[in-house]
Amino acid sequence: MKIQERTGAGAGRAAAPAQPTVGDRLPTSPRERKPALAALAVLLILVGALGATMLVLQAGDRIEVVKVTKDIPAGESVTSDDVTSVMVAADDSINYIPWVKLGTLKTLKAKSTIYADTVVMGQMFGAKSSLPDGKAFVGVALKEGQYPADIKNGDIVAVYRVGDHASSSNSGSGSTGTSAGGSLIVDKARVSSKSDNGDAAVSTGNLSLTLLVDQSDAAAVAQAASVGSVAVVVVPGN
């Protein structure tokens, strides 16, 4: 009887699922540490932070310089009306003109035409105008009807002697013909600067131009301008 009871008890234990023992688990490989990669990651973070810091410092190192807002013809000086100040990144390799030196800049002459919206450099100006060889500047005062309404700096124009003086004087060295009661003085002159005298032009229509002409034609243009007998016409070539 005891033998059967032990057998029955053993059979019941055998039917229960076997629980794995600690010794039956598969061994896991230890994690491989890579100190070189960790050091590289730290280095990249430090380099990125340093670069961002340098950009911030450079952006903060700015200076106030001069920028022209209108075309400055060769041989002309800037005025308070055609310049403004802008902030730029400081750079010792660029010869910017600091805004605090605007007074000095006004005493200098543009060596060549400086176009609007240009941040000017010191080498663009000199103590005196540098005209091309054989050229001269001549100023002319014009009345309404003696110039095109849309004339502007840089335009190429023909200069005519008009009025009563046109028929009595045709001795300018540049005269090559006649046109509608006016004699041609210069076939091609460049408008160096234009001044409409502000609000006065609205009521009177008067306009002052500085023309760049051949030196041989300067006397004839100046003589006609002195008696108000000059008209200009924009010609092809602009």
SS (H, E, C) 166-207: HHHCCCCCCCCCEECCEEEEEEEEEEEEEECCCCHHHHHCCE
Burial class, 203, CB count within 10 angstroms (exposed 0-12 / middle 13-18 / buried 19+) = exposed
Tell me the three state secondary structure of residue 66: strand
118, 110 Cβ separation under 8 angstroms:
no
Give phi and psi for 60, each to the nearest 5: -80, -15
120-171, pLDDT tens digit by residue? 999 988 887 667 778 888 989 998 889 998 898 888 999 999 876 555 544 4
Mean pLDDT of the chain: 77
Domains and CATH numbers, the chain: 62-126 (3.90.1210.10), 135-234 (no CATH)
The CA–CA distances, whole Å, from 18 to 8, 11, 12, 24, 57 equal 18, 13, 12, 12, 71
Name the pTM for this structure: 0.48
According to the model, what pLDDT value does residue 174 have? Answer: 42
